[in-house]
């Protein structure tokens, strides 16, 4: 039996709570013929408290050596005063950058049972299945200079730099084109070419690549602010949305609410394929954060985290049947009315984090 090496980085707040539920799923698959070898390490505030850094060098080595990293969430008010370079979120940014995880796939799928849990009307979201492809290692998150400078008069000036190169744009657009070909053949490219030079370059490159390599696909350019509005007005017009790091961060939180809750959206962060081995570095994490307002109460929805493991089965291990089965198990649990508070109907009884994990394990057994 092949054994897949997983590094689990639960992190802070609800991170460890949702990771515990994934571990139940991993154990179920291990018992049923898909072997996983897991290691666990610290990241974020938990790593800062232990080592004074938001990820240790040893954990970075483990991440480089793993077949896939499962990441919970980092951050929280406890670390508000921590210096920028070692704040909890820096650990996540370092993992993305050092592992070269430039392609962040954030699927927003409205499960049939949740069409009434969305912020929007049932008919607007029923059957929704869109894929946001977010560039993850460039843009304003990493551009230099990035600093706060104190001026002569004692006042300060803060600078962040939005920077993109041709190569960075080309590789993320190719990921979006490839995904669209397996879906509904439509790509919407979101930027702000009306005010940003990076947006102008982005649009030029998307148009050029479309002509040269993607003429089988339908392409539209959409300004990012309009894209945000259209996601709320009529999200089903989209198939694949490709966008930069910051716009992708914001648009995916909007998309999450179309599916019922931020606790529903999984993600895959992928590196380039190694031509020799055909493998790629990968990290899987929910789109949500550490949710300090509900942490420690057993209320967190673990489906975004469990769905992220499903993406690992699909994208890192090519276990499509297992991934489909996990999706079906999630859909069945939701259809049975078992819901955490964030997706429960008003007035309906909600269950806790653990009941969702247990319910999904039970469904997996029923389906197998
Ligand atoms: N990938 C990450 O680790 C990540 C992502 C986003 C934010 N953060 C960090 O998390 C901290 C808190 O940020 P925030 O409050 O702005 O965003 P958040 O995503 O943690 O929470 C926003 C809201 O969504 C709710 N929510 C989030 N996940 C949920 C879940 N699984 N089930 C039910 N409800 C859920 C929270 O209760 C909260 O009301 C910050 O330090 C931020 O930097 C980390
Ligand atoms: C925690 C933070 C650095 C992160 C981001 O901004 O990319 C988060 O919001 C996300 O969506 O993954
Ligand atoms: Mg975000």
Instruction: Kindly report the length of the chain.
Output: 368
The residue ranges of the chain whose pLDDT is under 50 are none
Task: Read off the pTM.
Answer: 0.97
Atom of ligand 1 nearest to the CA of 293: 37
Atom of ligand 2 nearest to the CA of 73: 1
Separation between Cα atoms, residue 343 and residue 101, nearest integer Å: 31
Q: Is there an atom of ligand 2 within 6 Å of 287 CB? A: yes
Atom of ligand 1 nearest to the CA of 302: 31
Torsion of CA 117, 122, 124, 130, to 10 degrees: 50
Contact at 8 Å (CB) between 173 and 242?
Answer: yes
Ligand 1 centroid to residue 33 C-alpha, Å: 34
pLDDT score for 118:
83
Q: Out of 98, 129, 253, 327, pick the active-site residue.
A: 253
Give ligand 1 pocket residues (Cβ under 6 A): 14, 73-76, 89, 92, 261-263, 285, 288-294, 300-301, 304, 342
Shortest-distance Cα residue to atom 2 of ligand 2: 89
From 86, 146, 289, 308, the mutation candidate for ligand 2 (largest count of ligand atoms within 8 A of CB) is 289
Separation between Cα atoms, residue 365 and residue 368, nearest integer Å: 5
Ligand 3 centroid to residue 250 C-alpha, Å: 6
Contact at 8 Å (CB) between 40 and 70?
Answer: no
Ligand 3 centroid to residue 302 C-alpha, Å: 17
Q: Out of 141, 164, 284, 315, pick the active-site residue.
A: 141
Ligand 3 centroid to residue 28 C-alpha, Å: 30
Taking the CA atoms of 137, 138, 144 and 146 in sequence, report the sign of the dihedral they define: negative
Active site residue 216: no
pLDDT score for 346:
82
Closest ligand to residue 285's CA: 1
Q: Out of 67, 111, 164, 192, pick the active-site residue.
A: 192
Q: Does 322 appear as a known binding residue?
A: no
Shortest-distance Cα residue to atom 6 of ligand 1: 289
Separation between Cα atoms, residue 97 and residue 275, nearest integer Å: 20
Atom of ligand 1 nearest to the CA of 74: 3
Separation between Cα atoms, residue 194 and residue 247, nearest integer Å: 15
Active site residue 192: yes
- H-only helix segments in the chain: 15-31, 45-51, 57-65, 88-98, 122-125, 166-181, 197-213, 224-233, 245-258, 303-315, 320-335, 353-367
Q: Are strands 3-11 and 35-40 parallel, antiparallel or unpaired?
A: parallel
Ligand 3 centroid to residue 43 C-alpha, Å: 17
pLDDT score for 1:
60
Contact at 8 Å (CB) between 245 and 140?
Answer: yes
pLDDT score for 328:
98
Active site residue 327: no
């Amino acid at each position: 039996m092949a054994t897949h090496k997983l590094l689990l980085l639960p992190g802070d707040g609800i991170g460890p709570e949702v990771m515990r539920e994934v571990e139940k799923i991993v154990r179920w698959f291990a018992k049923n013929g898909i072997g996983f070898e897991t290691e666990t390490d610290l990241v974020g505030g938990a790593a800062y408290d232990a080592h004074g850094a938001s990820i240790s060098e040893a954990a970075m080595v483990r991440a480089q050596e793993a077949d896939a990293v499962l990441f919970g969430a980092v951050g929280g008010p406890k670390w508000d005063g921590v210096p920028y370079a070692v704040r909890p979120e820096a650990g996540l940014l370092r993992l993305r950058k050092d592992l070269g995880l430039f392609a962040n796939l954030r699927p927003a799928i409205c499960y049939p049972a949740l069409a009434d849990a969305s912020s929007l009307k049932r008919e607007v979201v029923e059957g929704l299945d869109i894929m946001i492809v977010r560039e993850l290692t460039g843009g304003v998150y990493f551009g230099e200079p990035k600093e706060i400078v104190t001026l002569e008069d004692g006042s300060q000036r803060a600078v962040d730099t939005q920077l993109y190169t041709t190569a960075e744009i080309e590789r993320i657009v190719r990921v979006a084109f490839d995904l669209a070909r397996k879906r509904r053949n439509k790509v919407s490219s979101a930027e702000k070419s009306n005010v940003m030079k990076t947006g102008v370059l982005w649009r030029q490159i998307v148009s050029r690549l479309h002509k040269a390599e993607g003429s089988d696909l339908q392409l539209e350019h959409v300004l990012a602010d309009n894209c945000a509005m259209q996601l709320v007005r009529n999200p089903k017009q989209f198939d694949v949305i490709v966008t930069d790091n910051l716009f992708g961060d914001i648009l995916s939180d909007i998309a999450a609410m179309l599916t019922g809750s931020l606790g529903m959206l999984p993600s895959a962060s992928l590196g380039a394929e190694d031509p020799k081995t055909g493998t790629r570095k990968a990290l899987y994490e929910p789109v949500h954060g550490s949710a300090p307002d509900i942490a420690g109460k057993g209320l967190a929805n673990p489906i975004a985290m469990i769905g992220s493991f499903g993406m690992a089965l699909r994208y890192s291990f090519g276990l499509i049947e297992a991934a489909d089965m996990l999706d079906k198990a999630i859909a069945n649990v939701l259809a049975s009315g078992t819901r955490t508070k964030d997706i429960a109907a008003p007035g309906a009884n909600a269950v806790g984090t653990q009941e969702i994990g247990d319910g999904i394990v039970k469904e997996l057994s029923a389906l197998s």
